[in-house]
Structure 1
């Protein structure tokens, strides 16, 4: 059957390799329990990073490239890479899914571009609907049920989903996260379906526009039940579920070692040398 652009090419996925990458060895039936385990395994095993952009290389969203980078070479990626790969996994296992685009707000009042990727997911025989957000870099650990006012505590990390009314009386969903400053709206989204091609368009902006923060400096995240590490340029922040945080500055030359040891992002020697230069390489 020809590819009509509506699916995620789950049949082409090396499922065994992916499941080994995230440490999953449980039941593969498309149930809510399986979905929770897959989501937790993905978010805690595959880091968030934009280093290919900083190293002057394009971000490609075809499944073979994503498997090679995120699975075989054990690198990380940003939301479009994570979510596209996770969509292929869910499709392969028999879950129902709709891709969505979100606007990252982080408490800002002004309009932001829809440059974040999330999934609306269902399991056969179960009436519940789930928000899966494996590509933000800071959780949640597990899916959140799509219901107005849903509030979850996942190993101390707190999230809340709220439904509002958007433009033209459309439903607007807001994901909040609790931190040191209290509840903050993290991103907003509608249920307008997106497809793989839409993610390619959004990813092109994020990875090439001078207005995108990801084209300006290295960025990486590593999230777990116990701690959230963030590298923004040369600023390394460590946050825990209780809101306590530590921030320190590191030398550019320290980045390759820090990325490998803390963020679990291995770089080959040539890339490590380039990233450790005093200034980012030109693109």
Structure 2
């Protein structure tokens, strides 16, 4: 399903610095999820610069494994699903509707995986940006992953649709709905449709300005246009914001986010934001 027969598992695990077991166990899933989130960045630079984001496995491997670049959720999940499939995990791809306070129903353009191990189901969401550092068991209630609190809720998530909502701490001290999702299986062709919208549509938020995120155990760094925000781990921790000048972007991307641009990409970025 996810082209795992053409997947460079050794290269991917080396990119993650993963040396654990290669078996479809809960322990391996937790370790792989954490390593993926901490090692591979979230960035929309291809959709911003080129409005073109190929999802074939070879292109995604070349970009994210060999060229030390990041990607957005469809790319992350294409890579991660091939890895889990190679290791024998039983997985289902899902689509979610990102909310984050939006007053209306938004399109289902977020990709994630549901992994079943020994009768337990785990939401493994590695491509959101500030993703949880561990899979979340698909049961209602609150959980913490290394200082980051989350809550899962089950019910009617859109009119007539039974599903789940993932919540995170909101700015007012309560819970903010991050995204909703149903358990309807998705396939690579479904992700190709969502990816086309995100990369090319005038209604997409991810082809208008550079957007990059990096997660560390103790903080998350986010670059949104020319605003660089650092948020320490833990609910209610104050964020630090600073402005970045256009000519500083390549340096900030390399030094803070670990995103090394080629000379051509650097020139294209400066042209696009100039």
Name the TM-score class by shorter chain: over 0.9
Q: Does 1:184 align with 2:184?
A: no
Other-structure match for 2:19:
25
Measured against aligned partners, the alpha-carbon deviations of 1:179-214 in whole angstroms (never above 9, x if no partner) come to 543321100000111100000100000000011111
Partner residue of 2:230 out of 228, 233, 238 = 238
**Contact 2:44-2:71 within 8 A present in 1 as well:** yes
Check if 1:145 corresponds to 2:133: no
By how many angstroms is 1:34 displaced?
A: 0.2
Aligned partner of residue 273 in structure 2, secondary structure: coil
Matched residue of 1:8: which SS?
Answer: coil
Could you say if the C-alpha distance between residues 11 and 249 of structure 1 is closer, same or farther in structure 2, counting changes exceeding 3 Å? same
Q: Any stretches of 5+ residues in structure 2 without a counterpart?
A: none
Identify which of 214, 218, 226 aligns with 1:226: 218
Question: How far is the alpha carbon of 1:170 from its aligned partner?
Answer: 3.9
Tell me how far apart the structure 2 counterparts of residues 210 and 57 of structure 1 sit (CA, whole Å): 10
User: 2-side partners of 1:29 and 1:213: how far apart?
Assistant: 38
Secondary structure of 1:55's match? Answer: helix
Measure, in 2, the Cα distance between the counterparts of 1:178 and 1:24: 30
Query: Out of 49, 58, 79, which is 2:43 matched to?
Result: 49
Change beyond 3 A, Cα 1:167–1:179: closer
In structure 1, stretches of 5+ residues that fail to align are 1-6
- C-alpha contact 1:180 1:244 (8 A) present in aligned 2: no
| 1:174 has 2:168 as partner | no
When the two chains are superposed, the root-mean-square deviation of aligned CA atoms in Å is: 1.4
Q: Does 1:205 align with 2:191?
A: no
Please tell me whether the aligned partners of residues 99 and 180 of structure 2 are also in contact (alpha carbons under 8 angstroms). yes
Is the 1:133–1:143 contact (alpha carbons within 8 Å) kept by the matching residues of 2?
Answer: yes
Asked if 1:215 corresponds to 2:207, the answer is: yes
The TM-score with structure 1 as length reference comes to 0.92
**TM-score, with length taken from structure 2:** 0.95
TM-superposition CA deviations, 1:206-236 (whole Å, max 9, x none):
0000111111111100012111011111111
Question: 1:53: how far off?
Answer: 2.0
Q: Does structure 2 conserve the Cα–Cα contact (< 8 Å) formed by 1:254 and 1:276?
A: no
SS at match of 2:84: helix
Given that 1:100 and 1:119 are in contact with CA atoms closer than 8 Å, whether structure 2 keeps it comes out as yes
Q: CA deviation at 1:273?
A: 2.2
Match of 1:71 among 65, 74, 92: 65
Deviation at 1:269, TM superposition (A): 1.5
Q: SS state of the match for residue 276, structure 1?
A: helix
Determine if contact 2:51/2:200 at 8 Å carries over to the other structure: no
Give the paired residue count: 271
Q: Is residue 273 of structure 2 the alignment partner of residue 280 of structure 1?
A: yes
Q: Any idea what the Cα deviations from partners look like across 1:149-185, whole Å, max 9, x if unmatched?
A: 2x22111111111101245754220001125433211
Aligned to 1:128: 120
Residue of structure 2 equivalent to 1:193: 185
Show the counterpart of 1:268: 262
Q: Are 2:3 and 1:9 equivalent residues in the alignment?
A: yes
Q: Give SS of 2:50's match.
A: coil
